Amino acid sequence: MILALGVVVLNSLVPVQDLGAPWPDYRGPTLDGHGAPGTRPPLEWSEESNVRWKVSVPGRGWSSPVVSAGRIWLTTADPEGHQLSLLCHDLRDGRVLFQRVLFEVAEPAHRNALNSYASPSPTVAHERVFVSFGSEGLVCLDQKTAKEQWRRTDLRCDHMEGPGSSPFLLGDRLMLHMDGGDVQFMLALDPATGDTLWRAERDREVLQGLPPDLRKAYATPIPVRVGEQIQLVSTAAGVTYGLDPQSGRELWRVRHGGFSMSSRALVFEGAVLVNTGFMRPELWSLQLTRSAVDGGTTQVQVNWKATRGMPTMASPVLVGDQLFTVSDGGVASCLDARTGRVLWKERLSGPFSASLLYAAGRVYYFDREGTCTVIAPGRTFRKLAENSLDDGCMASGALVGEALIVRTRSHLYRLQMPAPADEGENQRER
């Protein structure tokens, strides 16, 4: 079901606020997996080549590394979930700058075997680092000193399989999804104090009669410009909502079924590309237009639906009018972003959880077994390289200058072609 009102105007993705951070969000500075202009990560690597440094990461955590001011931030937890920690590494040499237990948990909740207790990714902005461990708590720290500024431990839901949604900062609002099997809502907090600015409950009638497992979701919102208005696209179980980020007021909704989605939405030529989640993941193109009359209401129209081989975990990447996706099981697809027509499909190594990256005219696919397939974007499949590391990737990578920051299950890497002065000391492990 679609609730629609209004007419006119295209939309565009709104970049994150801290332009000084090269990779402040798990999907980068423009929230879509693209490296900044001039980013040139390596094409090829292995454990023996193009490794600037490699450091061991303790515990188990699938959060993606974020990078700002020469520092890499990520979270981890012991496998049983009793200690939830924040790590900070020096971008230059990988050494640990901070390692701090933020939460001690006496009785950790259940988690899925594929998940971790440290899956939400940090975000950095305005010299602050925001770290979520789902229901266990949300913490804000000073980016330079790692001194705690505030924390919230009262925002709870039953994640059922472990936490997943990452915090996201938009201007003077820190946004957070809390979509559990018991309660489902979205929050906007004051990033300076942690105070709640608004709370938007999901529509309980939509989920009425469904078992708790079908009510949860793990997505992270994106901001979209529709005409002169910034809107939040917020995907939950069964429904994608458009919200006013200043008030939390619902502007529109689309019902599509599905649950447990974690793939993040994208924007293309006035349309939002939304994943619907388990059990049969689909990808929908939702056209948003806004009227100059009737109070500037928003109209939503479904352009197309892709119903086969779509992801629930790995967020896609757009290159021009081509949409690149990979299913959890390892089927890569290229779709025409205007029509949804499948241009090609190819089975890769797999399975996959990490979101796709794009830089230097290449698309990077990291799988859970340690293989990264690199392709040239185009209307036919063309593989450029296939690289392997000793352990697999659940986390998405970060693109910083000529470096590719990769977190595997056990290590953090800076992958980079050696400069002439580095020849002979290409690989270091700490």
- Quick one: pLDDT at residue 321? 97
How many residues are present in the chain? 430
- Quick one: pLDDT at residue 17? 45
Q: HSE (CB half, 13 Å, CA atoms) of 233? A: 28
Q: HSE (CB half, 13 Å, CA atoms) of 119? A: 25
- Asked if residue 280 lies in contact with residue 300, where contact means CB atoms within 8 angstroms, the answer is no
- Quick one: pLDDT at residue 419? 77
264/366 Cα distance (integer angstroms): 17
- Quick one: pLDDT at residue 294? 58
Q: What is the pLDDT along the chain (430 residues), one digit of tens a residue?
A: 333 332 333 455 555 444 457 999 999 999 999 999 999 999 999 999 999 999 999 999 999 999 999 999 999 999 999 999 999 999 999 999 999 999 999 999 999 999 999 999 999 998 999 999 999 999 999 999 999 999 999 999 999 999 999 999 999 999 999 999 999 999 999 999 999 999 999 999 999 999 999 999 999 999 999 988 899 999 999 999 999 999 999 999 999 999 999 999 999 998 999 999 988 899 999 999 986 655 678 999 999 999 999 999 999 999 999 999 999 999 999 999 999 999 999 999 889 999 999 999 999 999 999 999 999 999 999 999 999 999 999 999 999 999 999 999 999 999 999 976 654 444 555 5
- Quick one: pLDDT at residue 36? 93
* Cβ-Cβ contacts under 8 Å for 303 (sequence gap 6 or more): 271, 285, 286, 287, 338, 339, 340
Please state the separation of Cα 43 from the chain's center in Å.
23
374/235 Cα distance (integer angstroms): 29
- Quick one: pLDDT at residue 394? 96
Longest C-alpha distance within the chain, in Å? 68
Closest listed residue to residue 202, CA positions, set 258, 159, 243, 158: 243
* Cβ-Cβ contacts under 8 Å for 205 (sequence gap 6 or more): none
Q: How many CB atoms lie within 10 A of CB 83?
A: 18
- Quick one: pLDDT at residue 12? 58
Q: For the whole prediction, is pTM greater than 0.75?
A: yes
222/196 Cα distance (integer angstroms): 19
- Quick one: pLDDT at residue 356? 98
Category of 145 on φ-ψ map: left (φ > 0), alpha (ψ -120 to 50) or beta: alpha
78/59 Cα distance (integer angstroms): 5
Q: How many CB atoms lie within 10 A of CB 393?
A: 24
Q: HSE (CB half, 13 Å, CA atoms) of 344? A: 14
> Nearest 5°: CA angle at 179, between 173 and 184?
90
What single-letter amino acid sits at 371? T
Q: Which two tokens stand for residue 125?
A: 């902005």
